[in-house]
């Protein structure tokens, strides 16, 4: 199979205009209490207008009491439905597709923002897990009602579902802990519940770590067995790779993908059209981008116009904290974003 970056493609129920994916990227553009904003909508629209095939929104928490930071959108019944709908409509008008990443912050919940300690796998009663499953399903229903094309359930990067999969962070002795099948029980219930509630025409994706559960091959098969439409693959150490401009986890994924038919989407370290094409040549049908699109939201259209296109991103990881220091999203940007100033307050050096 020889995939081309700028050809139409199918991912589960979705028809995409090309094989590029904007990997979930926290926009940090909510209000202080987690409401989406016109600035958040604008980010999604601009990406679609600039040729991103599939946009995955920044992680939205399904639990208001466990946010990852004060700029993170909360996805519950209080969300501004008209803005969410506007985002879907504007992305569709530009020929794109949009999927919401839904998450629980788990051990990465921010105590300063939430006023309570982060909650990990060991802290949930079985009743609370039942409730959590419903919160994820409800989040997916809200997205579907607003016209979004699907959800990506976040199982990566040390957030709650990643904590459940990780034997070092899940010490439960009941049916949610122990072997990988048990550690996958909560994800399996969420995935089955979302599918049952939203149906086969609503895309169901997951993002997993290549190195978080001890057996990537088995994890991919479990996700496939859960009926997902696509698996994006990152890794727990993605944020430690400043300056690395080559695909992050390709080797590990290639070793693990045998017998996996569901589309796999590597993410990390792709900063040029040539590298994106190498990922496709390695047999992956889609390729994801995050920091290059923070730096240059038009990077996909630049690649479309120019086969030699390279991102201006330094891969410096400054985007992980610059918004707390100056009202910009990339160290190279000079145009201030008012919404960042509103949420993160007067600018001075913070960690
Ligand atoms: C500012 C910022 C915010 C991010 N937010 C999310 C997020 O909300 N959910 C997620 O799964 N990954 C998030 N990521 C990780 C990216 O999706 C991606 O996995 C990682 O940046 C590697 O891809 P890249 O080399 O193309 O940047 C974020 C990355 C950055 C730089």
Tens of pLDDT, residues 212-251:
999 999 999 999 999 999 999 999 999 999 999 999 999 9
Q: According to DSSP H, which parts of 50-94 are helical? A: 81-93
Reading the block at residue 339, the tokens are: 């919404």
Q: Which domains does the chain have, with CATH numbers?
A: 9-344 (3.20.20.70)
Reading the block at residue 102, the tokens are: 């839904």
Rounded CA separation 46/187 (Å): 32
Whether the CB-CB separation of 31 and 72 falls below 8 Å is answered with no
Residue 154 C-alpha to ligand 1 middle, in angstroms? Answer: 12
11: enclosing H helix or E strand: strand 9-11
Ligand 1 site, residue 313, Cβ cutoff 6 A: no
Ligand 1 site, residue 157, Cβ cutoff 6 A: yes
Residue 173 C-alpha to ligand 1 middle, in angstroms? Answer: 32
Rounded CA separation 38/172 (Å): 42
Rounded CA separation 219/177 (Å): 15
pLDDT value, residue 135: 98
**Phi, psi dihedrals of residue 98, rounded to the nearest 5°:** -135, 130
pLDDT value, residue 2: 87
pLDDT value, residue 48: 98
The DSSP bridge pattern shows strands 20-22 and 14-16 to be unpaired
Short-list 279, 336, 332, CA closest to 303:
279
Query: SS3 for 206?
Result: strand
Phi/psi region, residue 150 (left: phi>0; alpha: psi -120 to 50; beta: rest), is left
pLDDT value, residue 111: 96
Ligand 1 site, residue 247, Cβ cutoff 6 A: no
pLDDT value, residue 350: 52
Rounded CA separation 267/288 (Å): 5
Query: How many residues are present in the chain?
Result: 351
Give the contacts of 75 (CB within 8 A, at least 6 positions apart): 60, 61, 62, 100, 102, 139, 142, 143
> 178, exposed or middle or buried, with CB in 10 Å at 0-12, 13-18, 19+?
middle
Residues of the chain short of pLDDT 50, as ranges, are: none
Rg (CA), the chain: 19
Ligand 1 site, residue 67, Cβ cutoff 6 A: no
pLDDT value, residue 347: 67
Q: Which of 21, 26, 103, 312 to mutate to test the pocket of ligand 1 (most atoms within 8 A of CB)?
A: 26
For residue 329, the ligand 1 atom closest to its alpha carbon is 1
Tens of pLDDT, residues 87-102:
999 999 999 999 999 9
pLDDT value, residue 1: 67
Ligand 1 site, residue 210, Cβ cutoff 6 A: no
pLDDT value, residue 269: 98
């Amino acid at each position: 199979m020889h995939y081309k970056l700028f050809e139409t493609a199918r991912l589960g129920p979705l028809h995409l205009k090309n094989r590029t994916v904007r990997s979930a990227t926290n926009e940090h553009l909510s209000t202080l209490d987690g409401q989406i904003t016109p600035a958040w909508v604008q980010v999604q629209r601009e990406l679609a207008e600039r040729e991103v095939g599939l946009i995955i929104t920044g992680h939205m928490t399904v639990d208001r009491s466990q946010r990852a930071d004060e700029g993170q959108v909360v996805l519950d019944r209080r969300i501004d439905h008209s803005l969410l709908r506007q985002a879907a409509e504007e992305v569709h008008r530009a020929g794109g597709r949009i999927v919401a990443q839904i998450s629980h912050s788990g051990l990465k919940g921010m105590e300063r923002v939430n006023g309570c300690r982060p909650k990990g796998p060991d802290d949930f009663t079985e009743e609370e897990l039942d409730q959590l499953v419903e919160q994820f399903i409800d989040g997916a229903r809200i997205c579907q009602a607003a016209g979004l094309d699907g959800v990506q359930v976040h199982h990566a990067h040390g957030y709650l579902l990643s904590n459940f999969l990780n034997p070092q962070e899940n010490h439960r002795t009941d049916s949610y802990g122990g072997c990988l099948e048990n550690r996958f029980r909560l994800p399996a219930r969420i995935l089955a519940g979302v599918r049952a509630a939203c149906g086969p025409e609503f895309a169901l994706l997951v993002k997993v770590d290549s190195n978080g559960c001890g057996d990537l091959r088995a994890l991919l098969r479990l996700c496939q067995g859960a009926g997902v439409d696509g698996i994006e693959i990152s890794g727990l150490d993605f944020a430690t790779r400043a300056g690395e401009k080559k695909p992050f986890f390709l080797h590990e994924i290639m070793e693990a993908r045998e017998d996996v038919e569901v589309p796999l989407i590597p993410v990390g370290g792709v900063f040029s059209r040539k590298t994106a094409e190498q990922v496709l040549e390695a047999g992956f049908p889609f390729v994801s981008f995050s920091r290059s699109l923070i730096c240059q939201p038009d990077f996909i259209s630049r690649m479309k116009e120019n086969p030699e296109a390279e991102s201006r991103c330094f891969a410096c990881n400054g985007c992980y904290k610059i918004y707390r220091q100056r009202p910009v999203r990339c160290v190279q940007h000079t145009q201030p974003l008012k919404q960042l100033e509103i949420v993160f307050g007067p600018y001075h050096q913070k960690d």
